Amino acid sequence: MEWNVNTYKQISQQVLKFEKCIDHLASLHEIDDLHRLTMPKKAENVYEAFKGIQAQSNIILVYCVAVSMLDLIQDLLTDCADGVFESHADIYNSATELTATLTSLIETLAPKVLAPAFSLHAKYIEEIDEKKSELHDAEHKLNEGIQRLQLVEDELKQTHKSTLLIEENINHAGNRLLSKNQQTLDSRISAAQDEIQSILRSAQDDFNVYTSRSERKIEELMAKAENQNQIHTSDINDLFNAHEKESTNRIEVRIQRAEGIAANLSKQASDAKELYDDIASEQKESFHAFIQDSQSSINDSIRKTSTEASQKVQKAQIDAQESFNTFLNENITSINERIEEKVSEYDDLKKTMESTFQEKIDSLEDQLSIVTSGVMADQHIKQANTERRAYWALQLTGFAFMLAAIYAGSLFFSELTNVHIPFLPKPDLVIHIDGALYSGLNLTTLLFMRLSMIILLTAPAIYLLKEAAGHRHKENLYRQRGIQLATISPYLEELEKEERAAIKKELVKSFFNFHDGKADTQNVPDFLRDMKEAVGIAKSLNGQTKTVSQRFGRKPK
């Protein structure tokens, strides 16, 4: 399966179908399963990974994203295999289709993306796979840590519930104790009131009895006084009837005596009445004092009883509150200790997992850096070999043109001097020193033709040799870079991280910038340059220091 727009659309449709199945799972409530909580997160990771590529993305990026998505989906398939629900079956089917598509895409892109790295560093790839498996193990351990944290959270919730239950029990016990003390106080107050009422009733009864006795005594005294008065009156009447016949003087005396007796009796009656009034007032005052004393004593006893009862109630409340606070503080302290212990264990586990994960990442980065350096070094060496082949092709071609130019020049020299050079044909034209020409051609035409031939052979030779020198220089440059990339990793491992970053930053300028330097072509023959040097030497020998422009008065350009 090649990576194109149709493949992108197919995978996009399968990812959307997979996401709908996950959304359907999130809307169900079949069972409280831990996988059902982690599966939407893993599916979201799959969707976020797919969002990182487009239809025009590089195949390397597509390959990396496909591999990561395949790993995540394999983990989800493992979770689905543990359940027997209809939603899991839908997720399993959609994930299987997406897995088949990604597997086909990875198998197609793998030779294009990983062939160089696999051919050069197969053992590093195996180590990377091992690191990936270790990372998966670390992920599983992290999931186990999350499960442990959830268990700790459940234990904390249970502890909180038990604490609330204990608090409710203590509140009920305090309320019961308060109501019991209140009932006891009410019963004591009612008993005190009943006792006061009984005392008042007994005092009222005693007062009534005493009053009735006093009234009876007064009535008895009154009756006695009346009886005495009646007796005296009857005696007087008897005496008056008996001595009526006596003389009037004796009657008057008797009358005066009777009046004195009557006055005495009236006085006795008034004295008895005053005595009764004094006795009644004394009884009333004593009864009033008794009532006041009884009320004050009763009030004192009530105050004392209420004070003692309130003190007991307050003491009971204080004791109950102190016992509740002590019990609650002990429970809170034990809960806090357990929470701190669990949190410390989680922090230690988290730090261990983070350090392990960071070590795995660093190791993976080192392996990837080695693989990348090896691939780059191999590419530079390949380019250096290409430049070497181009160099030798141009060098040999230029050398052939140069040999042809030398051959033509030697032939021309042989014809001019009539000197036979080995491996050359015998000259058919002889030019003597005196300038005689034994041929039908003009000398100027002959010289022009020979020189033209030499120039036509020399110009391509010079160009090809210069190009060969440029390719030779590029070969040395690429080969030097390849050797540097192949050997720089062990050197950088001995340095600190900051020094490695600074050195890599400096090397980027030389490794990834365009090389615009010129090759050294001093060893390539150039007739124009040699002619300029010969003219300069001739001028120095003739003593001329002025140029042609200066001799003819021209302005320098």
What pLDDT is stored for residue 389 in this prediction?
A: 94
* In a shared domain, residues 89 and 173: no
Enumerate the β-bridge partners of residue 431. Answer: 437
What pLDDT is stored for residue 54 in this prediction?
A: 76
349 in any annotated domain: no
**Token pair listed for 484:** 């540097």
* In a shared domain, residues 213 and 78: no
What pLDDT is stored for residue 434 in this prediction?
A: 38
* In a shared domain, residues 519 and 531: no
138 in any annotated domain: no
pLDDT at 431 over 60: no
How far apart are alpha carbons 457 and 518 in whole angstroms? 25
* In a shared domain, residues 514 and 537: no
Confidence of residue 241 (pLDDT cuts 50, 70, 90): low
What pLDDT is stored for residue 393 in this prediction?
A: 94
User: How high is the mean pLDDT of the chain?
Assistant: 72
How far apart are alpha carbons 450 and 351 in whole angstroms? 87
* In a shared domain, residues 509 and 530: no
Domain that holds residue 204: 167-344
* In a shared domain, residues 530 and 458: no
* In a shared domain, residues 238 and 371: no
How far apart are alpha carbons 281 and 400 in whole angstroms? 170
Confidence of residue 438 (pLDDT cuts 50, 70, 90): very low
| Lowest-confidence pick of 159-163, 344-348, 384-388 | 159-163
Contacts of 49 (CB under 8 A, 6+ apart): 65, 68, 69, 72
Domain boundary (310, 344, 378) is at: 344
pLDDT at 430 over 50: no
User: For residue 441, how many C-alpha atoms fall within 13 Å in the half-sphere facing its CB?
Assistant: 12
144 in any annotated domain: no
- pLDDT tens for 172-229 read 766 776 677 667 767 776 776 677 677 667 766 766 776 677 667 767 766 776 676 6
The torsion region of residue 406 among left (phi > 0), alpha (psi -120 to 50) and beta comes to alpha
What pLDDT is stored for residue 281 in this prediction?
A: 73
* In a shared domain, residues 508 and 392: yes
Domain boundary (49, 78, 113) is at: 113
More confident residue, 123 or 240: 123
pLDDT at 433 over 80: no
Of the chain, the end-to-end C-alpha distance in Å amounts to 67
How far apart are alpha carbons 394 and 466 in whole angstroms? 9
What pLDDT is stored for residue 134 in this prediction?
A: 74
454 in any annotated domain: yes
What pLDDT is stored for residue 76 in this prediction?
A: 72
> The CATH number of the domain where 104 resides is what?
1.20.120
CA distances for 191 relative to 31, 205, 303, angstroms:
64, 20, 14
Confidence of residue 437 (pLDDT cuts 50, 70, 90): very low
pTM (global) more than 0.75:
no
Q: What is the mean pLDDT of residues 394-407?
A: 91
157 in any annotated domain: no
What pLDDT is stored for residue 156 in this prediction?
A: 67
- Tell me the residue length of the chain: 557
* In a shared domain, residues 406 and 499: yes
pLDDT at 118 over 60: no
Residues 349 and 145 sit within 8 Å (Cβ to Cβ): yes
pLDDT at 80 over 90: no
Domain boundary (113, 148, 181) is at: 113
Share of the chain above pLDDT 90, in %: 5
What pLDDT is stored for residue 30 in this prediction?
A: 46
C-beta neighbour count of 22 within 10 angstroms = 22
Kindly tell me the burial class for residue 425, based on how many C-beta atoms sit within 10 Å of its own C-beta (0-12, 13-18, 19 or more).
exposed
Q: Which of 8-12, 243-247, 524-528 has the highest mean pLDDT?
A: 8-12
What pLDDT is stored for residue 184 in this prediction?
A: 73
More confident residue, 350 or 254: 350
Question: CA 186, 192, 194 angle in degrees (round to 5)?
Answer: 100
How far apart are alpha carbons 420 and 411 in whole angstroms? 9
* In a shared domain, residues 337 and 188: yes
Enumerate the β-bridge partners of residue 437. Answer: 431
* In a shared domain, residues 90 and 40: yes
C-beta neighbour count of 10 within 10 angstroms = 16
| Lowest-confidence pick of 128-142, 389-403, 447-461 | 128-142
| Lowest-confidence pick of 28-37, 52-61, 90-99, 308-317 | 28-37
| Lowest-confidence pick of 32-41, 108-117, 228-237, 311-320 | 32-41
DSSP letter (8 states) at residue 555: P
* In a shared domain, residues 494 and 544: no
139 in any annotated domain: no
What pLDDT is stored for residue 419 in this prediction?
A: 63
Q: What is the mean pLDDT of residues 523-545?
A: 59
More confident residue, 229 or 475: 475
pLDDT at 391 over 90: yes
Confidence of residue 318 (pLDDT cuts 50, 70, 90): confident
Q: What is the mean pLDDT of residues 408-428?
A: 68
Q: What is the mean pLDDT of residues 293-314?
A: 72
Confidence of residue 236 (pLDDT cuts 50, 70, 90): low
464 in any annotated domain: yes
Between helix 86-120 and helix 122-242 the angle, nearest 10°, is: 140
279 in any annotated domain: yes
Q: What is the mean pLDDT of residues 71-94?
A: 67
Q: Which of 113-117, 415-419, 486-490, 528-532 has the highest mean pLDDT?
A: 486-490
AA identity, residue 195: E
What pLDDT is stored for residue 306 in this prediction?
A: 66
- pLDDT tens for 13-55 read 777 777 777 666 655 544 445 555 666 777 777 777 777 777 7
Label each residue of 14-51 as H, E or C: HHHHHHHHHHHHHHCCCCCCHHHHHHHHHHHHHHHHHC
C-beta neighbour count of 554 within 10 angstroms = 10
Residues 21 and 91 sit within 8 Å (Cβ to Cβ): yes
Confidence of residue 99 (pLDDT cuts 50, 70, 90): confident
Number of domains, the chain? 4
What pLDDT is stored for residue 3 in this prediction?
A: 74
